[in-house]
Amino acid sequence: MAIEQSHGVANESDGDRAPPACRQHALAPGTHLVTLRRGYAHHGIYVGDGRVVHYGGLSRSWRRGPVEEVSLERFAGGRSVLIKPAADARFRGAEVVARARSRLGEDRYRITSNNCEHFCEWCVYGQSRSEQVDSLLAGPLLRVLRRLLPSAKRFAAQPVEQSAETCAV
């Protein structure tokens, strides 16, 4: 497992060969971590001592899971781990860790409204949000709505006449 930081964070090129203790010391508690999976990015909060709190959600299978604390290795699942910069974070360090741990055991995972990214953004910024969901909804869904809008406008512009007979129960 290699630990890398996007947007200006040092890259641990020999992360796979470094002992786990060396890799863990590079991470500060409260760090927002990301590991790329097939088709999405999985998010977690590093809480120290080689542990990560994350929404188990769909991270290991198609069955949803609760907010849990796991080893960094289990969180990574054999993949590289990225550090998400948080320059304008509302909370830092121990406060982020406390917020993450305050939700341990929560089992209300929803892919579009309460996923692992929503969880981490709430821990760091105080707002539950997901760039992945936003971009997904802004892309294909927006295109569908744009196609349907002209038809909806034409339909709404045509008055519908109803007689008393058709409304009677």
DSSP H or E segment with residue 116: helix 116-125
Does residue 116 have an active-site annotation?
yes
Query: What span, in angstroms and rounded, lies between the C-alpha atoms of 120 and 115?
Result: 9
**Residue of 32, 43, 54, 118 marked active site:** 54
**Residue of 32, 42, 43, 118 marked active site:** 42
Cβ partners under 8 Å of residue 107, min gap 6: 64, 65, 66, 67
Cα dist. 150→85, 138, 160 in Å?
42, 18, 18
| Cα 145 from chain centre | 25
Other Cβ atoms closer than 10 A to 126 = 11
Does residue 54 have an active-site annotation?
yes
Does residue 22 have an active-site annotation?
no
**Residue of 116, 118, 120, 123 marked active site:** 116
Sheet holding 81-84, edge to edge: 3-5, 81-84, 32-37, 40-48, 51-55, 67-71
* Positions marked active-site: 42, 54, 116
